[in-house]
Amino acid sequence: MKPETKLGIFTVLGLIVFGFSLYFLGGFSVTRSYDLNIKFADVSGLPVKAPVKLSGVEVGKVKQIKIENGDVIVVAQINESVAIHPGARFSVVMTGIIGSKYLKVEQGDTMLAAYKPGAYIDGVNELPMDAMITQTMASIKDFVDSVNNQGAFGDQLNQTMTEVRQLSANLNQLVASMKPYLTRSAQNLDDLTERLDALLAGIEQGQGVIGGLMKDEQMKQDVKESVTNLKETMSEVKTFVGKMSRFRVYWDYDFFYMPDSGLATSDLALEIYPSSGYTFYRAGIANIGNEDDSLDSKDYLEKNKFDVRFGLYNKWATVSAGLIRGAGGVALELKPFYDKEFLERFTFTGEFSDWGRDRVINNRLFNKPNLSYGVDFRFNRFFSVGAWSRDVLETNDFAVKANISFNDQDISSFFGLATMAH
């Protein structure tokens, strides 16, 4: 046999041995571990060797995924130094808004003996994305129906909104009835201003009867100052009339659904855009709910927090600061594709607040700032949906968002009239 042939055979055999070594030793680890069997109904997208994380720390990996008696069994290989106790919650979650999936573990009761190797544990079955969106839309519909048709809260809210709209309608009618008079007044003011200019010029040159009387320099100066003040007053009136037509007020409603915990929350606010063209104000309530209701073990939302902000905006970015969900903070919205058709519908948002947070909420200590971010897609000027990661540094809850926003022209007229009165 030629040396070249021997070398070729040796090389091929070496590659085969190397390939088998990678296959059989790919899952080998020098860290001692034990297995737990987690039962799920669906683990779509979870790969073998995906990390297993306890409180955000990787403590193992997914060793195998199999089917037993109609259930999906995820074999989790846990580091021997980590004990998992009864009551622990196992769920399949994503790393952020868009990313790979991993097995999330929330520790159980540490006063109980830890699970033994090979134990079978029921996992928390999460909704698939399509079912999640369907349920979110159903929840929004239920909320709207409860407001429109039934419940003490719905009746009170409907009564309040009816009274507000009646007041706004009356104000709008008043403004509409005043508009022709204001228009004619503005035209008359323009005519009067021109005549005053001519009068001042005549006085300055000593023309006419008044000009002849104005030989007295003191009297001449007094008349000129009076006419000048009158012109300034008319200019201010025209400015106020213009501001009335440039006020914009929007109702803004956000609905968040968090599939990991099964919780939902709502925000409602008024956004006021004055005539400046680059500033706005926001005032509302975040995490609307009944504080007397019993809490789920994973409900860390602080109910009914004020959300009051002052902001600046242009066509590609919006920045605001103030009380964000009851604590000082800042928010930033970016529209990097504002000039691109279709892509301009996307908005990227981040909120950073409660920097000094150090308190217990529902038996859990929170000592990191509240950071949330997400991406929204607007279907039209009234409705948008989004995907968010909320409180990333603590609970890191994935949330599906729906937003409804519309311009209230009655309230806009009210604010415009109030500004003119001021």
CATH number of residue 260's parent domain: 2.40.128
Contacts of 349 (CB under 8 A, 6+ apart): 331, 332, 333, 334, 373, 374, 375, 376
Q: Are residues 313 and 414 in the same domain?
A: yes
Q: Are residues 320 and 374 in the same domain?
A: yes
pLDDT confidence band for 209 (50 / 70 / 90):
low
Q: Are residues 233 and 345 in the same domain?
A: no
Report the pLDDT value the prediction gives residue 242, as an integer from 0 to 100.
Answer: 54
Cβ proximity of 41 and 70 under 8 Å? no
Q: Are residues 313 and 417 in the same domain?
A: yes
Cβ proximity of 335 and 349 under 8 Å? no
Domain interval for residue 269: 247-292+301-421
Report the pLDDT value the prediction gives residue 106, as an integer from 0 to 100.
Answer: 92
Residue 181 lies in a domain: yes
Q: Are residues 274 and 180 in the same domain?
A: no
Higher pLDDT, 389 or 407: 389
- Write out pLDDT tens, residues 362-372: 888 999 999 99
73: pLDDT strictly greater than 70: yes
93: pLDDT strictly greater than 60: yes
Residue 384 lies in a domain: yes
CATH number reported for the structural domain that contains residue 56 in this entry? 2.40.30
Look at 116-130, 145-159, 240-254 and tell me which has the smallest mean pLDDT: 145-159
- Write out pLDDT tens, residues 9-23: 777 777 787 766 655
C-alpha distances in Å from residue 422, one per residue of 151, 232, 248, 415, 417: 40, 17, 18, 10, 9
Report the pLDDT value the prediction gives residue 218, as an integer from 0 to 100.
Answer: 63
Q: Are residues 405 and 373 in the same domain?
A: yes
Q: Are residues 232 and 271 in the same domain?
A: no
Q: What is the pTM of this model?
A: 0.49
Q: Are residues 239 and 255 in the same domain?
A: no
Higher pLDDT, 32 or 128: 32
Residue 137 lies in a domain: no
271: pLDDT strictly greater than 70: yes
Residue 412: is it exposed, middle or buried by C-beta count within 10 angstroms (0-12/13-18/19+)?
buried
The number of distinct structural domains making up the chain is 3
Report the pLDDT value the prediction gives residue 329, as an integer from 0 to 100.
Answer: 95
Q: Are residues 258 and 330 in the same domain?
A: yes
Residue 200 lies in a domain: yes
Q: Is 333 helix (H, G, I), strand (E, B) or coil?
A: strand
Output the six-digit token pair for 147.
Answer: 């407001």
Q: Are residues 261 and 351 in the same domain?
A: yes
Q: Are residues 332 and 396 in the same domain?
A: yes
Q: Are residues 366 and 396 in the same domain?
A: yes
